[in-house]
Amino acid sequence: METPYDYQKFAILYVDDEEKSLKYFSRAFGDGFRILTATNARDGLRIIEEQGSGIGLLITDQRMPAENGVWLLERARQLYPHMIRILATAYSDMESAIAAVNSGAIYKYVTKPWDPEELEQTLKRSIEFFLVQRERDQLLREKMSTLHNLMIADRMVSLGLLAAGLSHHIRNSLVAVKTFLDLAPDKMAEEKASMDTLRNPEFWKDYHQNVQGQIGKINDLLKELWHASEQNTGAFNDEVDVHEAGATVLANLQLEFDSKGITVENAIPRDLPRLKLDRAKFHRLLDLLLRDELASLPGGCRVLLAASPAVGDLSRPEVEIQISDNGPGLSPQALRLLFDPFVLRADSPKELGINLMACFFIVHHHGGKIHAQSPPGSGTLFTIRLPLNPEAGPAQITDMDFLSRQVFNEGLWKSLASAP
């Protein structure tokens, strides 16, 4: 009967200081399995470090010169937790085998001298377990990716409804206020001589400008929220030069950076492949990220734009874009909530998270990923990965923390929805 498992897809590494044992093991099982061997634990660890992703099973003798088998098994577990680990030991070493089992370092143990037929079945069951485990993990990743896209779509709809509702009620209400404020200066000038409350016209002038500014911020906030929730049409007809895009956006913001004493360098290579994108949205993405740097960095800091071809799936080539600074950085809590709207930024209390949430959706629309990190003393680094051709399909999620992060954030949305 044919087996559904390919026993040679992943190698078996056998480690033993007795060379005769290694030759016998290779001769006995080399036809049915792909065998790697090592004569000591150190060499075995080196092979695992070099070829660990292609090894499904590690079987090692316990008693060897220098480091013993349990030492190797524990380090293999740290490097490749899913690798199946078996300890080969004599009856006199049963205490070591029991200790290894209890510590979780091994899948099982076999006794020496071993029976070839029995050991062959053990090797088959071990490789089968490894393959089933990999298949389970792949299915889990696919389910998480589907859940990720569903949750993103749901959040986008929520943002759209929220933006539409806020626009309808707030913007309409602001029409009357704005009209009054537009007429107020003329009215105040007419009645200046007779109204005691207008003895200080400069106060009312400043008040008028402040309120107008706040109305403008509300309108901009609603507009940004609306654009963040826009669905992508699926057409990416613009071929964008990443270096030129960065230079264009920087030119528009250069005066603001100069006035604050912040140096910005465009180190994006000119020979990068062009990206198929929505040009306007991509420019908006860079603009929002640079404006975030402008708002959060103190004077004297430095911002660097860089990019390179991303290392990954050759069937889906990507470009990695980085925007980094040498500022004070962000706390782990701030990083966790960085792309959530309606979260006050500790580094810039007047700013809301709408802009960075818009960045998140722009990148998601193009089948890419964006994340931020802030190692202690190293400033903040935004990393964006975008496919050369978004139509090749959405990126697969690999961040298993996504679900817990979204569950945590649901509390913020419930608080917002229940607010009076």
pLDDT tens for each residue of 188-226: 555 554 445 445 556 556 666 766 666 666 666 666 555
Domains of the chain and any CATH numbers: 11-114 (3.40.50.2300), 142-231 (no CATH), 234-420 (3.30.565.10)
- Could you tell me the pTM of the whole model? 0.48
Tell me how far apart the alpha carbons of residues 387 and 240 are, in angstroms, rounded to a whole number.
12
Buried b or exposed e, range 154-173, using 16+ CB within 10 angstroms: ebbeebbebbeeeeeeeeee
Provide the pLDDT for residue 183.
58
Pairing state between β 369-373 and 263-266: unpaired
Tell me how far apart the alpha carbons of residues 354 and 114 are, in angstroms, rounded to a whole number.
65
Q: What contacts 231, CB < 8 A, 6 or more positions away?
A: 156
Provide the pLDDT confidence category of residue 319 given band limits of 50, 70 and 90: very high
Tell me how far apart the alpha carbons of residues 39 and 305 are, in angstroms, rounded to a whole number.
49
Provide the pLDDT for residue 160.
55
In the predicted structure, residue 286 carries a pLDDT above the cut 90: yes
In the predicted structure, residue 328 carries a pLDDT above the cut 80: yes
List 108's β-bridge partners, or say none.
Answer: 86
In the predicted structure, residue 178 carries a pLDDT above the cut 70: no
Compare 341 and 328 and report the one with higher pLDDT: 328
- Contact between 232 and 280 under an 8 Å Cβ cutoff? The reply is no
Provide the pLDDT confidence category of residue 410 given band limits of 50, 70 and 90: very low
Provide the pLDDT for residue 150.
58
Provide the pLDDT confidence category of residue 268 given band limits of 50, 70 and 90: very high
Provide the pLDDT confidence category of residue 408 given band limits of 50, 70 and 90: very low
Q: Minimal CA–CA distance to 75: which of 58, 88, 92, 61?
A: 58
Provide the pLDDT confidence category of residue 254 given band limits of 50, 70 and 90: very high
- CA angle at residue 235 from 230 to 236, to 5 degrees? 100
Q: Minimal CA–CA distance to 73: which of 84, 63, 65, 343?
A: 84
Provide the pLDDT for residue 399.
46
Provide the pLDDT for residue 324.
94
Residue with tokens 């696919």: 142
Type of residue numbered 134: R
Compare 222 and 48 and report the one with higher pLDDT: 48
Tell me how far apart the alpha carbons of residues 401 and 373 are, in angstroms, rounded to a whole number.
15
Compare 149 and 307 and report the one with higher pLDDT: 307
Provide the pLDDT for residue 147.
60
User: Residue 265 — φ and ψ, nearest 5°?
Assistant: -120, 130
User: pLDDT tens for residues 132-142?
Assistant: 888 887 777 77
Tell me how far apart the alpha carbons of residues 378 and 398 are, in angstroms, rounded to a whole number.
25
